C-alpha cells in the first residue's frame, strides 16, 4: 500500500467526476436515499457495467492486499483498472438504470422452468466443484446411495456408472425426468430434502450437490439425512461458497429466453460456513471428516464475464468458489 496510492488516486477520480461531470444517477441516489423499485438493488437487474465497476473495486482491494508484488507490478496491474473504471463511469453518466425487476421463484418452480437448459448453464461452477466431490464419493461405503436434490442426475450417473445402486430425490419433477432418462438403472422419487421419502437407515451414503443454499432450515436436512443414512455411513455435501455468494451477489439465475426482459432467479439463503457446520456437526448427528474449498480457477473467472477477462482474473482467481464437506454418520446419534 505504501508504494502505490490507490485510495488517493481513486478519491481524486471520484472527486473530479463529481466536480466536472453531470449529476449521475449514483449521485442522485446518494442525495435521495428513498428506495424505489428501480433503485432497490435487491429487486432490479444489475447492469453489466455496474457489476464490473464492483469487480474493479474488488480487484483493487486484492492487489492492495497481495503479498510479493513490486511497486512496478502494482502500477502495471492497477493503472488499466483505474482507466477502465473511469471509462465505465463516463458511460454510466446520464443513462437510466435498468428498471427490469427480478422475478424470484421457489426451487420447485424455478428448477422446473430451468430443467431443459440447466446442464449447459451450470458448467463453469460445476467444473470447479466436481473434482473434489468425485474424490470424496470414492469413500462412500458399499450399499445404496441417495443423490439428494439430484437435479438432472449428475452424481447419480457417476455412481451408477461405477456399479453403485442409487436412488435420486428432487423437488422438481422436470429435473428428475432428465435424471431418469440419463440413469436408467436408478430409482427416482419426487421429494423434499426436509422430509426425504426414504425409510430410516435405508442407505449407506448420500451426496447433495449445490442444493443446500436453497433450504432455509438446514437442521431439518441434517436430521433427515442422518435418519436415512445408517450409522457409520457417509455424506458428501457441496454448496456455492458463502464468501463469493455474498461478494458477487451470486444468484441461481435462470438464463433468459430471447423474449424475456425480466430475469428470474431461485431464492437462496446467505448461510455462513458456521451455519452448515452447526446444523450438521453441532447437532451431534454427523462428524466432520474433510472440509475442502476449491478455488475459482482462471477458466471459471473468464467464463463469468468473457469480455472482461483481466479484471476477472485479478478480482476472482483464488477465492473459494465452493464449500465441500465430507461427513460421517455418528453411530450413537438418536434421530
Ligand X SMILES: C[S@@+](CC[C@H](N)C(=O)[O-])C[C@H]1O[C@@H](n2cnc3c(N)ncnc32)[C@H](O)[C@@H]1O
Q: Are 237 and 324 in contact (CB under 8 A)?
A: yes
- For 78, 99, 218, 324, the CA distances from 211, given in Å and listed in that order, are 37, 30, 11, 12
Q: Residue 192 or 328: which CB sits closer to ligand X?
A: 192
- Nearest approach in angstroms of CB 104 to ligand X is 14
Contacts of 74 (CB under 8 A, 6+ apart): 3, 4, 63
E strand or H helix that includes residue 312: helix 309-316
Determine the residue with CB nearest ligand X: 151
- Nearest approach in angstroms of CB 182 to ligand X is 11
Q: Are 159 and 166 in contact (CB under 8 A)?
A: yes
Angle at 216 between CA 190 and CA 323, to 5 degrees: 90
- Nearest approach in angstroms of CB 261 to ligand X is 24
Q: Residue 155 or 308: which CB sits closer to ligand X?
A: 155
- Nearest approach in angstroms of CB 55 to ligand X is 23
Q: Residue 60 or 149: which CB sits closer to ligand X?
A: 149
Torsion of CA 5, 8, 9, 12, to 10 degrees: -170
Q: 163, exposed or middle or buried, with CB in 10 Å at 0-12, 13-18, 19+? A: exposed
Task: Return left, alpha or beta for 16; rule: phi > 0 is left, psi -120 to 50 is alpha, else beta.
Answer: alpha
Rule CB under 6 A: which residues touch ligand X? 107, 111, 149-151, 154, 170-172, 175, 192-193, 209-211, 214-215
- Nearest approach in angstroms of CB 167 to ligand X is 13
- Nearest approach in angstroms of CB 31 to ligand X is 40
Q: Residue 52 or 146: which CB sits closer to ligand X?
A: 146
Q: Residue 52 or 159: which CB sits closer to ligand X?
A: 159
Q: Residue 151 or 205: which CB sits closer to ligand X?
A: 151
Amino acid at each position: 500500500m505504501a508504494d502505490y496510492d490507490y485510495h488517493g488516486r481513486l478519491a481524486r477520480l471520484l472527486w473530479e467526476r463529481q466536480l466536472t461531470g453531470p449529476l449521475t444517477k449514483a449521485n442522485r441516489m446518494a442525495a435521495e436515499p428513498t428506495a424505489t423499485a428501480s433503485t432497490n438493488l435487491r429487486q432490479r437487474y444489475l447492469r453489466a457495467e455496474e457489476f464490473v465497476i464492483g469487480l474493479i473495486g474488488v480487484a483493487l482491494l486484492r492487489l492492495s492486499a497481495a503479498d510479493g508484488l513490486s511497486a512496478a507490478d502494482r502500477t502495471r496491474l492497477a493503472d488499466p483498472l483505474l482507466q477502465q473504471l473511469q471509462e465505465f463511469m463516463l458511460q454510466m453518466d446520464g443513462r437510466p438504470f435498468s428498471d427490469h425487476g427480478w422475478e424470484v421463484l421457489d426451487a420447485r418452480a424455478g428448477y422446473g422452468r430451468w430443467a431443459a437448459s440447466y446442464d449447459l448453464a451450470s458448467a463453469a461452477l460445476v467444473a470447479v466443484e466436481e473434482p473434489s466431490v468425485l474424490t470424496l464419493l470414492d469413500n462412500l461405503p458399499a450399499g445404496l446411495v441417495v443423490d439428494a436434490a439430484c437435479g438432472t442426475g449428475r452424481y447419480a450417473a457417476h455412481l451408477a456408472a461405477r456399479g453403485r445402486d442409487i436412488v435420486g430425490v428432487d423437488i422438481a419433477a422436470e429435473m428428475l425426468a432428465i435424471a431418469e432418462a440419463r440413469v436408467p438403472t436408478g430409482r427416482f422419487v419426487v421429494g423434499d430434502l426436509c422430509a426425504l421419502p426414504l425409510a430410516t437407515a435405508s442407505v449407506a451414503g448420500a451426496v447433495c450437490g449445490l442444493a443446500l443454499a436453497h433450504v432455509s432450515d438446514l437442521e431439518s436436512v441434517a436430521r433427515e439425512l442422518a435418519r436415512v443414512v445408517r450409522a457409520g455411513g457417509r455424506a458428501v455435501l457441496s454448496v456455492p461458497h458463502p464468501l463469493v455468494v455474498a461478494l458477487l451477489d451470486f444468484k441461481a439465475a435462470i438464463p433468459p429466453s430471447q423474449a424475456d426482459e425480466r430475469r428470474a432467479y431461485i431464492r437462496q439463503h446467505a448461510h455462513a460456513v458456521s451455519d452448515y457446520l452447526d446444523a450438521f456437526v453441532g447437532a451431534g448427528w454427523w462428524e466432520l471428516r474433510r472440509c475442502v474449498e476449491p478455488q475459482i480457477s482462471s477458466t471459471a473467472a473468464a467464463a463469468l464475464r468473457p469480455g472482461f477477462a483481466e479484471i476477472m482474473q485479478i478480482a476472482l482467481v483464488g477465492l473459494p468458489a465452493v464449500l465441500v464437506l465430507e461427513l460421517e454418520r455418528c453411530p450413537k446419534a438418536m434421530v
